[in-house]
A = this chain, B = another copy of it.
Amino acid sequence: MDNRPSRKATRGTLEPRQGAQAIRRALAVLRILAAGREDGVPLAEVVRATGLTRPTVHRIVHVLIEEGIVERHDRTGRYAIGNQVPELALARARPSRLLVAANPSLRRASAEIGDTLFLTVRTGNDTLCVDRRIGVYPIQVLSIEVGARRPLGVSSAGVAILAAMPAQDARKIVAANEKRFEAYQTDIATVMSQITDARRRGYNMREIGLVQGTKSISTWIKTPDGQPAAAITVSAVRTRLGPRREQEVAEILLREARIIEQVIRG
């Protein structure tokens, strides 16, 4: 593509290993398919999102089908993650460190706030919802489900995570996701300005959620090395989150984010 790492440049630092282009491409395809969940993704969309040529994507996807890693839905012709992926995942029985660490915080915040809470992690250039807690208030925003995966920058949590990393890194990721933004009706400029706002505010707030009339607040969680790894998000109907209550909720989320960071630290 554009960045060929001069064959013997900065040895020692993380110069990506050569001789596995096909494997990297296959994984890129898989990550796009994962964003499509059960429904899957049309081939053309995978081509757009990965920037690979269609013959290449086609070949990769069909080999992965033969291997049981990908499935093709006969009805729609869409491609989706196959059942061998969960089978491989069973090799890692225990739940992640973060999930365990965040559990009491999510329970506490959910009880205090009463609206839907989401725990979202960063994975590569994506956000991935890994936990959801439904509150007691009768109207709950359930648009996002556990397993939902979107490009960093698209969701409220994604903007929060980007806001918490060095501007340089954030810009790189946003640029890398450019081709995928179109499908979510956004673009680099919009995302970058949201990041700036969030950074200034100390948390991310978005007036228009994925669903009309909803509002979201997200705070980031950093690992001990200072890199943001996750975000906690509250989503509610807009009327539930006036300026006054926004302040209160944000304080709770910020408090719990700091607590989770402490727990991870050990």
Question: Which residues of A are at the interface with B, using a C-beta cutoff of 8 A?
Answer: 14, 16-17, 19-20, 22-24, 26-27, 30-31, 33-38, 59-60, 62-64, 66-69, 80-81, 83-94, 96, 121, 123-124, 128, 130, 145-147, 149
Known: A24-B63, A68-B123, A124-B68. A91 touches B17 (CB 8 A): no
Chain B nearest CB: distance from A144 CB in Å?
A: 12
Measured between alpha carbons, how far is A83 from B26 in the docked complex, in Å?
Answer: 17
Q: A36-B91, A91-B147, A93-B147 are in contact. Are A23 and B81 (CB under 8 A)?
A: no
Please name the residue on chain B nearest to A19 by beta carbon.
Answer: B59
Please tell me if the beta carbons of B91 and A89 are within 8 angstroms of each other in the complex: no
Contact for A23 among B17, B60, B86, CB less than 8 A: B60
A130, B87: Cα distance in complex, Å: 8
Chain B CB within 10 Å — which of A19, A69, A96 has the most? Answer: A19
Cα A87 to Cα B125 with chains together (Å): 13
Q: Could you say which residues of chain B place their CB within 8 Å of the CB of A96?
A: 83, 86
Determine if B23 and A128 form an interchain contact, defined as CB atoms under 8 angstroms apart.
Answer: no
> Chain B residues near A17 (CB, 8 Å)?
59, 62-63, 66
Pull 10 A–B residue pairs with CB atoms less than 8 Å apart, ordered by A.
A20-B22, A20-B60, A37-B92, A80-B92, A85-B85, A86-B89, A86-B96, A90-B147, A91-B147, A93-B146
Given contacts A17-B62, A23-B63, contact A81 B89 (CB under 8 A): yes
Contact partner of A88 (CB less than 8 A), chosen from B20, B63, B85, is: B85
CB-CB under 8 A from A124, the residues of chain B are 68, 84
